[in-house]
Structure 1
Amino acid sequence: MNERRLRGSSMPTPAAQTRTPRRGLSLTVLVVNQLLAGVGVASGIAVAALLVEELTGAVALAGLAQSASVLGAAIVAIPLARLAIRSGRHVALATGYALAMTGAVLVIAASATGWVPLVFLGLAAFGAGAAAGLQARFAATEVAAAGFEARSMSIVLWATTIGSVAGPLLAATGDEVGVALGLPPLVGPFLFSGVAFGLSTLLVASLLRLPKPGTMATDAAEPAVLAEPAVLAEPAVLAEPAVLAEPAVLAEPAEAASPVQSGSPSPGEERSIGAWAAFRTAVRDPRALFAILAIVCSHTVMVGVMVMTPVHMTAHGLSLSLVGVVISIHIIGMYGASPLVGWLVDKIGPPRVIAIGAGILTVSALIGILAPADDMLLVPLALGLLGLGWSCGLIGGSTLLTTAVEPSVRVPLQGATDAAMNLAAAASAALSGVVLGAAGFAGVNVVALLVLVPLVVAGVRAMMWQRAAAEQ
């Protein structure tokens, strides 16, 4: 019966057929936009911690820069998901990038006046750019052909590589431009961020058009996503019972909790599902919980270590240019290999890729514990592996999350997961400065290892659940 629900509406409607040729255009717009957004995010984040340390004179407060940005991303994640359901993905993305542009302007104004609280407010608004960029990965799956969801997601993430690598490398140039314009040191990169986010806003608002997520359960796009488990299951036996069985597990409590999740929801019905209600329902299922923790833990580890790396390096006498090189290598690890990661997800299944990512993050943390701060071989290696492990966790977890639940739950759950991810990362960024001051960079990496423990436990539990389901 559940399999019939998954496949019963697989025939495309005429409206869906007319939208198919637009997939290429929509994906192209998402790719170009992610390039610009990558410049916007990376230009400011590369110097945000240093800027706060300069303004406050306290190393322990440096982590609050990233914390404010990530907290801002967490705050807007659910409203942006609701806006996507109500008005379309393009409206939600444009709103996020416009908020980020406003944040960059606030940071510049606050730094020029020396009013520190306004800097944190600006960084919080700046975080909306990251939230919008994360939503773009789900938009990519909505325009993908069946069986290519993970690869489409990875292509959009890969496009962020160019902008994200260029952003930190432009930090020194941006600083020079800012000083030439009479701005304080370390503020200039936010000029580049503001321009990049402004262009992203215009591009998405004017060119990107996607079906509302709430309408996709009845057209060809949703069945394509729902049919994907069968495609993924053939090359990966490990993923088969979990992906096919999960909607059935989630369907029972969902139907009991809300009539929205039975049958094919209409756009109005989809809006009635609360993000946290969807989140609470999903965490009861081992596979959905594994997907959520893959996203949350991977991002938390990445943010906690990455944000303290510039402070750690400059404290040992390394230049801003070298900091930019290391952060660029880290971002290459995050996005450069994402097409390969997406291909692996489609071939061997999300659970295995998540496990690979957890292993890579563990190796990165161990190198970070042992490597000297001025070792320009091991430190970039650790940061590159940190980014690669994040990529495996994010793409694997996001794909599993997308295919694990019914359409009526999907978008609210995506927003809730992104909010949880950013809240955890905000706490990690805030505490990482304290840990760095008390236990050094090695202590920051030890904490990162501890964050991975819940992910490992959830993975083992999901594997046992899967075996039990296979034996029934």
Structure 2
Amino acid sequence: MIVTETGTEAETDARTRRRAMIALFVGVAAKTTAIVGASTAATLIASEIGGAGWSGLPAAANVLGTATGSLLAGTLMARLGKRSALSLMYGLGALGGVIAFLAAVSGVLPLLLVGMVLLGIGNAGAQLARYVAADLYPLARKGFGLSVIVWAGTVGAIAGPALIAPGASVARWLGLPELSGPIAVTTVIVLLAVGATFVLPRGEAVAPVERKSPSMVLSALRRPAVLAPLSAMVAAHVAMVAVMTMTPVQLHDHGHGLDVVGWVIAAHMVGMFALAPLSGKIADRWGGRVTIYLGIGTLILAAVTCVTAPTAHATGLPLALFLLGYGWNLAFVGGSSLLARDLPEAERTRLQGTVDAVVWGSAAFASLSAGPLFAGGGYVLLAVVAGVAALAPLVVFARVRTL
């Protein structure tokens, strides 16, 4: 009888985990699909309105929104539960899509930035979903659990860029600015993410929210168990966001249309997400440190490829953007696995959100810097700076030898 009850409980837990993973996967896949189209279109809209120097602003607004959402996510999840918190964050993302569409039609840059901030808050929910997934798995499989949710971005990698040109065509047919089309598609797809959250199981008992002073948070971030993965994720984001943000502008300046932009970005997005389960298995077997080192090496190779083939839209750039994406993936999964394993459960959600806020805040800086760097020194200079940034975590890891 005891065995039967234990087996039944195990089957129930497995069903609950499977249901939660499907809902998390669908939500992240939808949100990633949406953000790809919105970010690419918004970058080009800003470039048309204000020139190349302004083209990094929408991506910066998006990552600032993601940073803000990440900072608030721990509190939201503690007070509302994971399901309600994700629903709220995705809902704000859908509102951002509506606002960004109105901005694309009217050509008002500040309104576009507001929409991108709200889309970023929705993106924060999608990013933190990987930790929700990791909590569903035992210690030895946490890297795999979170990597499956990162892998959901593969759907966005394929569908997001593929929807850019058709969305633009529909907008032209309707007499609207063509770049408003991908933004409109974004809004519809984010609503799918909202719907997916209602399939999630209802949350557990709400944990009390412990308020911490800024000095306590800074002290926690300086702990080796947090600082090492944080440095890797920050460096990977900075390198990846800087190059990715300006690649559509680089292609556009060399006379390529949205179809070329779409498939080059698709190569990048496939690199970001498609091999995530492999990254998770590497992290589970050889540890987060090794996974991060592999990511740094891949990012450097991507930067070198960008420098040597900055205009090769059919060969060099797709390869470079794929490597850029997978280098980010290795560092992201490796760092996330260290945080999922090594942080005490009582402070895990809050610190994971704070880490993501720092990571996306630094990525906002990269987006803001990318436009002026590109305008002043071109794509090659931008790639060199990104490669140097990717090396920064080696200094931290040289001092932290226990991870």
TM-score band (shorter)?
over 0.9
In 2: Cα distance, 1:374 partner to 1:20 partner: 48
Displacement, 1:313?
1.1
Give 1:357's match in structure 2, choosing from 295, 299, 320. 295
Match of 1:228 in 2: none
Asked whether the 8 Å contact 2:42–2:112 carries over to 1, the reply is no
Match of 1:251 in 2: none
Displacement, 1:19?
4.4
Instruction: Note if 1:208 corresponds to 2:146.
Output: no
Q: Could you say if the C-alpha distance between residues 278 and 369 of structure 1 is closer, same or farther in structure 2, counting changes exceeding 3 Å?
A: farther
Asked whether the 8 Å contact 2:83–2:203 carries over to 1, the reply is no
Q: SS state of the match for residue 147, structure 2?
A: helix
Instruction: Note if 1:187 corresponds to 2:184.
Output: no
Match of 2:81 in 1: 88
- Which ranges of structure 2 fall in alignment gaps of 5 or more residues? 1-5
1:208-357 residue pairs with structure 2 within 5 A?
208-209=200-201, 211-212=203-204, 267-268=207-208, 271-274=209-212, 276=214, 279-357=217-295
**When the two structures are aligned, how many residues end up with a matched partner?**
397
In 1: Cα distance, 2:321 partner to 2:83 partner: 33
Instruction: Note if 1:70 corresponds to 2:63.
Output: yes
Q: Could you say if the C-alpha distance between residues 300 and 276 of structure 1 is closer, same or farther in structure 2, counting changes exceeding 3 Å?
A: farther
Match of 1:99 in 2: 92
Displacement, 1:112?
1.9
Match of 2:381 in 1: 443
Q: Could you say if the C-alpha distance between residues 123 and 152 of structure 1 is closer, same or farther in structure 2, counting changes exceeding 3 Å?
A: same
In 1: Cα distance, 2:66 partner to 2:183 partner: 17
Displacement, 1:287?
3.4
Q: SS state of the match for residue 100, structure 1?
A: helix
Percent identity for Structure 1 against Structure 2: 31
Asked whether the 8 Å contact 2:89–2:121 carries over to 1, the reply is yes
In 1: Cα distance, 2:216 partner to 2:349 partner: 9
Displacement, 1:276?
4.9
In 1: Cα distance, 2:56 partner to 2:366 partner: 9
Asked whether the 8 Å contact 2:157–2:267 carries over to 1, the reply is no
Q: Deviations over 1:181-236 (max 9, x none)?
A: 232121100111101111111220x2112544x76xxxxxxxxxxxxxxxxxxxxx
Q: Could you say if the C-alpha distance between residues 84 and 34 of structure 1 is closer, same or farther in structure 2, counting changes exceeding 3 Å?
A: same
Match of 2:323 in 1: 385
Displacement, 1:156?
1.2
Q: Deviations over 1:97-130 (max 9, x none)?
A: 1111111110111222232211111111111222
Match of 2:360 in 1: 422
Q: Deviations over 1:51-85 (max 9, x none)?
A: 111122x1100011101111111112111221111
Asked whether the 8 Å contact 1:297–1:455 carries over to 2, the reply is yes
Match of 2:394 in 1: 456
Displacement, 1:424?
0.5
Asked whether the 8 Å contact 1:84–1:91 carries over to 2, the reply is yes
Match of 1:26 in 2: 20
Instruction: Note if 1:61 corresponds to 2:58.
Output: no
Partner AA of 1:179 in structure 2: R
Q: Deviations over 1:120-148 (max 9, x none)?
A: 11111111222111011111111123421
Partner AA of 2:351 in structure 1: L
Residues 398-407 or 351-360, more deviating:
398-407
Asked whether the 8 Å contact 2:69–2:122 carries over to 1, the reply is no
Displacement, 1:297?
1.3
Q: SS state of the match for residue 29, structure 2?
A: helix
Q: What is the RMSD computed on CA atoms of the aligned residues?
A: 2.0
In 1: Cα distance, 2:297 partner to 2:136 partner: 31
In 1: Cα distance, 2:79 partner to 2:64 partner: 24
Match of 2:3 in 1: none
Asked whether the 8 Å contact 1:36–1:200 carries over to 2, the reply is yes
Q: Deviations over 1:150-192 (max 9, x none)?
A: 1111111112201232111110000111222232121100111
In 2: Cα distance, 1:126 partner to 1:98 partner: 9
Asked whether the 8 Å contact 2:310–2:380 carries over to 1, the reply is no
Q: SS state of the match for residue 127, structure 2?
A: helix
Match of 2:35 in 1: 41
Match of 1:240 in 2: none
Q: Could you say if the C-alpha distance between residues 359 and 278 of structure 1 is closer, same or farther in structure 2, counting changes exceeding 3 Å?
A: farther
Displacement, 1:401?
1.1
Partner AA of 1:42 in structure 2: V
Partner AA of 1:43 in structure 2: G
Asked whether the 8 Å contact 1:81–1:92 carries over to 2, the reply is no
Partner AA of 2:41 in structure 1: V
In 2: Cα distance, 1:278 partner to 1:195 partner: 41
In 1: Cα distance, 2:286 partner to 2:213 partner: 30
Q: Deviations over 1:22-57 (max 9, x none)?
A: 11111111112222122211121122210111122x
Q: SS state of the match for residue 415, structure 1?
A: helix
Displacement, 1:428?
0.4
Match of 1:177 in 2: 170
Q: Could you say which structure has the larger radius of gyration?
A: 1
- Which ranges of structure 1 fall in alignment gaps of 5 or more residues? 1-11, 216-266, 468-472
Match of 1:130 in 2: 123
Give 2:337's match in structure 1, choosing from 399, 420, 424. 399
In 1: Cα distance, 2:214 partner to 2:18 partner: 33
Instruction: Note if 1:111 corresponds to 2:128.
Output: no
Q: Deviations over 1:350-407 (max 9, x none)?
A: 1100011011101111111121313421111110000000100111001101212211
Match of 1:254 in 2: none
Displacement, 1:17?
9.1
Match of 1:241 in 2: none
Displacement, 1:18?
5.8
Give 1:120's match in structure 2, choosing from 109, 113, 119. 113
Q: Could you say if the C-alpha distance between residues 80 and 16 of structure 1 is closer, same or farther in structure 2, counting changes exceeding 3 Å?
A: farther
Asked whether the 8 Å contact 1:278–1:412 carries over to 2, the reply is no
Structure 1 length-normalised TM: 0.80
